[in-house]
Amino acid sequence: MDSLFKTCCLKTIIVGNCGVGKTNLQERIAYGRLAKVLIFRMVPLAYKLYPHNTLGCDFNHFNYEIQSEDLIKDDSKYANLKLPETIKIKSQLWDTAGQERFRPLMKSYYRGASFAFIVYAINDRDSFEDVEYWVNVLEKFTVCNTIVLIGNKIDLEDQRMVSYDEGKELADEYGFDFVETSVLEDIGTAELMPSILIKTLKNHLDSYMC
């Protein structure tokens, strides 16, 4: 059983249209902060309001520790397994470019991904309509076990163009998890990686028990 977790390294990719907040989501998850460019944009008159777009692909490599008690507390079927008290996970978080001109180059970065975040902005209807495109890309180039659909920018509620129910319905249609977030205000972001890692570990355990 210990061998399942000795060299556990999981790759996560973030996909979605340009400008939906993928880079800042990556920074929030990896470092608990916003990307520096966005921080500069928040200072009135100090900097021009240039958007920051990922050119190609960026990634962060960091470690997580999951307590085995968090795996078994809601599911007694794991209680008799001999698990290490702390499960250490090496995680790679890849932020991919959303611009159309880079899309043909991205498929090589998708390979080997264990799970994915598909991000749209609630104030950008086109980014929501393009979720189907990103689903097709993931189905074609990855074997992701878990996909989370994320509706970002809920701090812009007065500009909302996609309702919560629409996002949830689409996620349910595909069998994805769903969450709305504000990367700017750090709402709904802290739980993303721990929850998806626990779900992935449970999938590994289920396979082991079969």
pLDDT in tens, 98-118: 455 555 555 667 778 888 999
At 39, the pLDDT band (50, 70, 90 cuts) reads very low
Given a cut of 90, whether residue 10 has pLDDT beyond it is no
Top-ranked range on mean pLDDT: pick from 13-17, 21-25, 148-152, 196-200: 148-152
**List of residues 6+ apart from 148 with CB closer than 8 A:** 115, 116, 117, 118, 176, 177, 178, 179, 192, 196
Tens digit of pLDDT for each residue in 194-206? 888 777 777 777 7
Q: What is the mean pLDDT of the chain?
A: 77
Q: Average pLDDT in the 29-48 region?
A: 46
The number of domains in the chain is 1
Residue 154, by phi and psi: left (phi above 0), alpha (psi -120 to 50) or beta?
alpha
CATH of the domain at 111: 3.40.50.300
**How high is the pLDDT of residue 34?**
59
The residue range of the domain holding 101 is 2-209
Q: Average pLDDT in the 69-84 region?
A: 71
Give the global pTM. Answer: 0.78
